[in-house]
Amino acid sequence: MYDNLAFSDVNLKLIDHSLYPKDFTFICGEKTFSVNRIIADIISPISKTLHIVDSSLDYLDIGRESNLKYVKALACGEELKITKNNAAEVNNTLHQLGTAGLEELLLIKQRENIKDQNEIVFDSLDEAISNMLLLAALQKDTKFEDIFISKTFYQITIDQANEIGVDNLQRILSRPELCLRNEDFLLDLILDLSCSKSKEFLSLLEFVEFSNTNDQNISRLFNEISFNDLNNNIWKALSKRFDSYSYSSPDQNALQRNNLNNNQNQNEIENERSFSLFGRYLGSVVDLDINNMDPYRGIISYLNEISHGDSLQSGLIDISASTCLDLHKMNPRNVIHNDANYFASKNLANQFITINLKRPAIITGYTLATCRSMSHAEHIKSWVFEVSRDGQRWVIADEQKNHRGMNQAGAFYTFKLEKSMKCSQVRIRSIGPNWEGSDYLSIATIELFGQIIKPVF
């Protein structure tokens, strides 16, 4: 796994050291190692710099005794492979010699693979694991390696997981980028590690979403482990699968209130949980970001496509509005089809239309299109684009005022959000008169862009 990082100089290996005077000594604790001063200058920038000042200098103290074997290897041109077990010692030796430390070399390697400011691409999962283990051994930041490993965790083998170790796995499994084949894959991996490697891996069970595991694996869990192996965090994780509420109260009104409050609390917990698991499973997310070549190829069109043309009728989404001028001709449902029909509200202030996607999404932008009326008709002029996770609390994600581009027949514009927004519902809300000066909210088409959980039929 560590073949990607090693030191050697084949030319030094070809030198017959017995032919040259050993006139320079490296001092390592109580031991010494003598070489020709030219060799010393090659492997130690500090030695080279000191000789420029004083050519008679014949020794260099490089600290602890454990550095000796690495100095000898470097001087003789032997390949020096780096592992998590010797990383700290090699790093200390390199610093004492005045050359770049391992962390600097790893950072150079990272920059070669850098994708953007927040992500680095490695050639393989093995390479990312190797870099992570070396940096962790040096107590350096492993953020980029952790992100890559968590994103490709669905590929991991039991041997790779064992090599990573419990402490590093705890950090990786807690990352929001974690991607699994499914939840049973993670549970199986932990149980296999526990059985074949060490019971220490059982502590990772707290990262399992047991609500998404099958009954067969739950049975395996209780057949293979002792209750004494389960800590409080693991019990909390398990409780999500077995949560139930029971009350005994003679006051039926109080019982109903308790049930209502607990149901509301549970709904909020489940709502937040669904967003925290966004993209957790391989192939579960569909990416439909803004496409300038096709402003109507987004989330709505995708849901229509997989539901044979009508995502509303199939139950994939819901659409509602504050009011509707004519349910037969100007129904809110018209906005999900890119045709001649359109939606119009009654002539009242602060009108809105809401699309409930019924599943977590990350919205990055949206397209609006006007109806085919002439300019200075009821086309939308000023509005806010709002998002919500529960349909109760709304956040303004975009605001447009006096948008002149919408003041014409069949106009369409795509708006990119300044910040990607996690939500399950969106709405367009008018914040002023339209282009004819009335309060009708009129929209022909709405399209959304971003990522959405793939529906399961």
pLDDT values of the chain reduced to their tens digit, one per residue, 457 residues: 444 445 556 667 778 878 889 999 999 988 999 999 999 998 898 999 999 999 999 999 988 888 899 899 888 888 777 776 777 788 788 888 887 665 566 555 555 555 555 667 788 898 888 888 878 877 788 898 999 999 999 999 999 999 899 999 999 999 989 999 999 999 999 999 999 889 999 999 999 988 888 888 889 988 988 878 788 888 887 877 665 333 333 344 544 545 545 555 555 555 666 677 788 888 888 999 998 888 889 999 999 999 988 899 999 999 999 999 999 999 999 999 988 899 999 999 999 999 999 988 999 999 999 999 999 999 999 999 999 998 999 999 999 999 999 999 999 999 999 999 999 999 999 999 999 999 999 999 999 999 998 886 6
DSSP string for 397-434: EEEE-S-GGGSSTT-EEEEEEEEEEEEEEEEEEE-S--
Give the integer Cα–Cα distance in Å for 180 and 283.
9
User: Do residues 301 and 432 both lie within one domain?
Assistant: yes
Q: Are residues 315 and 344 in the same domain?
A: yes
Containing structural domain, residue 372: 285-453
Domain final residue, candidates 48, 66, 99: 99
Which DSSP helix (H) or strand (E) runs through 293?
none
Calculate the CA 84 to chain-centre distance: 26
Of the candidates 204, 195, 209, the residue with the CA atom closest to the CA atom of residue 170? 204
Residue 433 lies in a domain: yes
Both 86 and 157 in one domain: the answer is no
Which residues touch 68 (CB under 8 Å, ≥6 apart)?
A: 26, 28, 29, 31, 33
Same domain, 440 and 304: yes
Same-domain check for residues 292 and 431: yes
Last residue of a domain, one of 240, 266, 301: 240
Residue labelled with tokens 């990772």: 204
Cβ(321)–Cβ(353) under 8 Å? yes
| 80 shares its domain with 197 | no
- Residue 199 belongs to some domain of the structure: yes
- Return the structure tokens found at 280: 């957790």
Q: Is residue 110 in a domain?
A: no
Distances (CA, A) of 424 to 283, 371, 405, 417, 443: 19, 26, 28, 16, 21
User: Both 303 and 442 in a single domain?
Assistant: yes
- Whether 249 is in a domain gets the answer no
Tell me the DSSP string of 196-251: HT-GGGGGGGGG--GGGS-HHHHHHHHHHS-GGG--HHHHHHHHHHH-------S-
Do both 144 and 78 map to the same domain? no
> Which pTM does this prediction carry?
0.61
- Residues 223, 148 share a domain: yes
Any domain includes 246: no
Residues 41-74 pLDDT 10s: 988 989 999 999 999 999 999 888 888 998 998 8
One domain for residues 330 and 425:
yes
Q: How many domains does the chain have?
A: 3
Q: What is the pLDDT of residues 326-370, one digit of tens each?
A: 999 999 999 999 888 999 999 999 999 999 999 889 999 999 999
Domain end point (choices 206, 225, 240): 240
- Residue whose tokens read 């890119």: 338
**Is 276 a domain residue?**
no
The answer to whether position 267 is within a domain reads no
